[in-house]
Amino acid sequence: MRVLAKPPLVVEFTTSQLGSSGSPTPNVTISGSSLDEPIGIAFDPHPTNLPF
């Protein structure tokens, strides 16, 4: 799961992290000034579990 957070960054948590309680450390963190006002973000390869 990816979540847009502040300051501009995108984080990814694994399925097992989402199933546990507490404050897990993100599995992946992407940050940078290009995320200040994104027009569109694409992930390649496209995750098969997303509907779009």
pLDDT tens string 1-52? 555 556 778 888 888 888 887 888 888 888 887 777 767 777 666 667 766 5
Distances (CA, A) of 9 to 20, 48, 51: 22, 23, 22
pLDDT at position 46: 63
β-bridge mates for residue 28, sequence order: 12
Sign of the CA dihedral with 37 first, then 39, 44, and 47 last = positive
pLDDT, position 3: 57
What pLDDT was estimated at residue 2?
55
pLDDT of residue 51: 65
pLDDT of residue 10: 82
Domain ranges for the chain: 2-34
